[in-house]
Amino acid sequence: MDWAELDAAELVALARAHEDPDGHLPVPDVVGWDIFPWEGELRPRRLRDPEPEPPRHGEDGPAGCHACQHPPEGLVWSDGGWRLTVPAGGPVPTFVLHPVEHLDLGDLDEAQAADLGVVVVRVERAIAAVPGVGRVHVSRFGDGGAHLHVFLFARPAGLLQLRGSCLTDWEDILPPLPPERWTAIARSVGQRLATWRGEAGPGPG
Ligand SMILES: [Zn+2]
């Protein structure tokens, strides 16, 4: 096996070698971090053996893609090439940026890739300009859907426990914002983007 290769079975074997007699890995330092949202006795789940990768939504093209087959939910802004949506209410305004065309990140040509960089920076600025936003987090996972979708989270200023990698866990814990606030924030972001490049969407709600 080439060293410049990722071997899931090797990682599982390493994990097994570090398990305690009960079959669990040691509890990591993250449980003591200020941002970690859980307390109490915890233990890591056991790492399963490698499994076949399940197909993602839209893996075979636009016909099986939710983003392509349904009107965008909570449209905030679109310029024809990109769409920005806020799909549902939550405790932290969360925006999703995706190309109008059925493309994944690695499918973008050079011009689209360059444009993605410009658009992400513009959207970050538009969200960061909302009073009370302390930081804008940007994430792309891609494990569920084949149609590129980039998440942008508006982390409230002063909520230091929501910093970093645990923000999405806190999203599952905290109650949703009032719909009026969610809608007003989304509209203000859409309006900032509309003055830069094209039309704002109708906004959610
Ligand atoms: Zn699609």
State the distance from the centre of ligand 1 to the C-alpha of 141, rounded, in angstroms: 16
Instruction: Write the DSSP assignment of 15-28 as a string of letters.
Output: HHHH--TTS-PPPP
Same domain, 25 and 102: no
Query: Does residue 143 sit within a domain?
Result: yes
Same domain, 71 and 47: no
What is the reported pLDDT for 204? 59
Tally of structural domains, the chain: 2
State the distance from the centre of ligand 1 to the C-alpha of 107, rounded, in angstroms: 12
The neighbour count for residue 98, using CB atoms within 10 Å, is: 20
Q: What is the pLDDT of residues 6-20, one digit of tens each?
A: 999 999 999 999 999
Query: Does residue 58 sit within a domain?
Result: no
- Structural element, H or E, at residue 180: helix 179-196
Query: Does residue 98 sit within a domain?
Result: yes
pTM value?
A: 0.93
Q: What is the CATH number of the domain that holds 79?
A: 3.30.428.10
Same domain, 187 and 128: yes
Q: What is the pLDDT of residues 98-132, one digit of tens each?
A: 999 999 999 999 999 999 999 999 999 999 999 99
Same domain, 86 and 17: no
State the distance from the centre of ligand 1 to the C-alpha of 62, rounded, in angstroms: 5
* Angstrom distances, CA of residue 125 to CA of 113, 155, 157, 171, 176: 19, 13, 15, 22, 24
Q: Can you give the residue range of the structural domain that contains 7?
A: 1-51
State the distance from the centre of ligand 1 to the C-alpha of 100, rounded, in angstroms: 8
